[in-house]
Structure 1
């Protein structure tokens, strides 16, 4: 991992398989990913797009799925034009979702690398904690 790393973690009262389904189901993604529509075939090497509206402005974030190991690991690159950074490799983050069985539930950890500063990493960590709480709520329904 490069740059400052943002991290968030949550324990979920659901199996890793249930949490995995929540992470990849398009209807669930829309609910936990700030209203985004996800477009992908969930295969390593494939494109992944997140489309939506933020503060009245249309956006399309993009990346490539790097690793998929159902139900334990999902890793993809991510670039958002809303960041204001140029669309070049140095502007991409790698998002890693790691699922680990814990008792009858699952520990879900999310990391995001390549943050420019510790403050940026802290800000991202806060956003990712909110996202994981939404995943938790959906998976435990």
Structure 2
């Protein structure tokens, strides 16, 4: 578990990276990441709605710091032909105060790598204007990944 913030020279922006190791098979982690509904541990308890196909819309609805939100984006890359391992989404939050325009969207890249005893999740978010913004995003995504870990490691009932 940890995170780094890198400067992508070719993109001219700061990238937030969060990583976590999960003691669960990659397919289990994939199901947690791509399931609809709400888990209190993930995305601040937001309800997630999508059909999780390439090009599909995704919506996150919930409440954060007493304010309702409805973030949205699209599934723009999906690598799960034999074993799921990468999904890339766009993400826009009206709470940012920015207009809903393509230049204000983030790209979220989730990669799932098999490791001894489980799966490593790496999440990169681009389009952060400053190092401070990237660090804030990294901290939020690290909390979200801790929630994914808690759900994925929970014994099945």
TM-score, structure 2 normalization: 0.84
Matched, 1:72 2:82: no
Distance in 1, matches of 2:65 and 2:38, equals 21
Note the alpha carbon deviations across 1:62-94, whole angstroms, 9 max, x for none: 111101123101111000000011111110000
- Give the unaligned 5+ runs of structure 2: 1-7
SS at 2:62's partner residue? Answer: strand
SS at 2:111's partner residue? Answer: strand
User: Which residue number in structure 1 is paired with residue 5 of structure 2?
Assistant: none
Matched, 1:119 2:148: no
Which structure has the highest helix share of the two?
1
Q: C-alpha displacement at 1:29, in angstroms?
A: 5.0
SS at 2:134's partner residue? Answer: helix
Write out the 4+ residue segments of structure 1 that deviate beyond 3 Å after TM superposition.
Answer: 27-31
User: Which residue number in structure 2 is paired with residue 34 of structure 1?
Assistant: 44
SS at 1:31's partner residue? Answer: coil
SS at 1:132's partner residue? Answer: helix
Q: C-alpha displacement at 1:30, in angstroms?
A: 5.3
Matched, 1:136 2:146: no
Matched, 1:24 2:34: yes
Aligned length: 141
Sort the Cα spacing of 1:46 and 1:53 in 2 relative to 1 into closer, same or farther, 3 A: same
Q: C-alpha displacement at 1:28, in angstroms?
A: 5.5
Distance in 1, matches of 2:39 and 2:126, equals 21
SS at 1:20's partner residue? Answer: helix
Distance in 1, matches of 2:147 and 2:41, equals 8
Matched, 1:63 2:76: no
User: Which residue of 44, 49, 57 corresponds with 2:59?
Assistant: 49
- Give the unaligned 5+ runs of structure 1: none
User: Which residue number in structure 2 is paired with residue 103 of structure 1?
Assistant: 116
